[in-house]
Amino acid sequence: MKKKQLGSQGLEVGQMGLGCMGMSEFYGQIDEVEATKTIHRALELGVTLFDTADVYGYDEEGMGANERLVGKALQGVRENITIATKFGAQRNEVKFLGYNGSPQYVKEACEASLKRLGTDYIDLYYLHRVDPNTPIEETVGAMARLVEEGKIRYVGLSEVTSEQLRIAHAVHPISAVQTEYSLWSREPELDVLQTCRELTIGFVPYSPLGRGFLTGHLTSRDQLTQEDWRYHNPRFSEEAFAANQKIVEGIKALALEKECTPAQLALAWVLAQGEGMVPIPGTKRVHYVEQNVAALDVSLTTEDIAYLATLAPIGGTTGNRY
């Protein structure tokens, strides 16, 4: 797999990463054996960027179940990979508690993640969401001190505005911004994506397959169990589900022509949006990580890209993201 630069501070990763969140929570039944096999298969395919967060998964040891799983699965290959994790969102077993970006918490959260991941350093450390009660310059200042201490190597931000990004970048260079981005979530094109390009900051789209919707596998809301968080998501309501199928039908039609899957086509569109773009499609199954990586071989023409952009314009998706 070819490598790409994220930012201008020296971070280099494979051109497609792996989102690990669903391996521990949110998308139905958990199978840690299959999840571990998926991580190992991703390694074989050349994936080097593995994305997790301290808030993903809660088990008998508390918060951070996904970090524990990812850390265990990646033992023995530490020097060849990039571990990205996030902090700032707090929870207990049953509910979300809020955001914390205070300098003291930055240090505490990092130490806890290092222990769960079983590593001496985190390659890419993201602020998961901006704490409304802590100026972002204070949070990033504390992250910069972690860089000085060797606890983290590169600083990232998730779901920030252009203004927040500029403020943060003036405190310490930001290597990557992680935001939801796909054919049904194109809002980053309005501001933050342009700012990333201007400042040479890498862009890491999460949910590039629209939380599975753009794969074409979901044809009825009845396929979702009530334990699957999408069941309660506005974009997966009865009305929105039906309205958004038109996007999927268009993707399916072009995918048939290109002799690829709808998922591969949707990923190829994201990859075509810029050099500093490294999507992290999430999966917990070997078959899908193989399929996703194969999207790197899908070639789109200028006409294909324009057609897909017209099929799914900015704001053309029914239902809010959250």
Cα 194 from Cα 181, distance rounded (Å): 13
Label residues 211-231 b or e (16+ Cβ within 10 Å = b): bbbbbbebeeeeebeeebebe
Catalytic residue numbers read: 56
* Cα torsion 24, 27, 29, 34: sign: negative
Cα 166 from Cα 227, distance rounded (Å): 38
The pair of structure tokens assigned to 210 is 């629209």
Cα 84 from Cα 175, distance rounded (Å): 12
Q: Is residue 176 within 8 Å of residue 142, measured between CB atoms? A: no
CA-nearest of 212, 302, 293, 223 to 260 is 293
Q: Report helix, strand or coil for 149.
A: helix
Cα 24 from Cα 131, distance rounded (Å): 25
Q: Which residues have a Cβ under 8 Å from the Cβ of 108 and sit 6 or more positions away?
A: none
Cα 31 from Cα 133, distance rounded (Å): 37
Q: Is residue 80 within 8 Å of residue 87, measured between CB atoms? A: no
